Amino acid sequence: MKDSRFRLDFKVRDYECDMEGIVNNATYMNYLEHARHEFLHTLGIDFAEMTAKGIIMVVIRAELEYKSSLRSGDTFTVCVDVERESKLRFTFVQDIFNSDGKLVLKGRITGTAVNSKGRPELPPELEQAFGI
């Protein structure tokens, strides 16, 4: 398992599995999103506060590469790092590993922030929190 800025452990629940008994592909997006939100909270970023300030954080691109499957009851870890993509974009680099350390998924979730006028804007508090 790689050394990441943030890690969050999970356990697969029965209802997240499809007819084949493996985690449904769309469920992985939920795992990634929950880990990103927890990561942001550790950085002091609160979605409600950002919205009140007129800054909305949005996902503009999601790239997922499935490597192996998870099954009901499996435990796993979601790793989160963040990179600067451009002046207005950042990317969460996220990997999922099973309890044996085997890579399950590689993800890149690119986002930006939109100000109250609907224009892309990366506010200083995000740049500072991300260290980018």
What's residue 2's pLDDT? 62
Whether the predicted pLDDT of 126 surpasses 90: no
Tell me, yes or no, whether 131 lies in a domain: no
- Tell me the whole-structure pTM to 2 decimals: 0.91
What's residue 68's pLDDT? 97
Q: Which of 3, 9, 14, 18 is catalytic?
A: 18
Report the pLDDT averaged over residues 112-116. 91
Report the pLDDT averaged over residues 50-77. 94
Whether the predicted pLDDT of 24 surpasses 80: yes
User: DSSP letters of 10-65?
Assistant: EE--GGGB-TTSBB-TTHHHHHHHHHHHHHHHHTT--HHHHHHTT-EEEEEEEEEE
Overall domain count for the chain: 1
Tell me, yes or no, whether 1 lies in a domain: no
Domain extent, residue 14, equals 6-126
Does residue 95 carry a catalytic annotation? no
Residue 106's pLDDT band (cuts 50, 70, 90)? very high
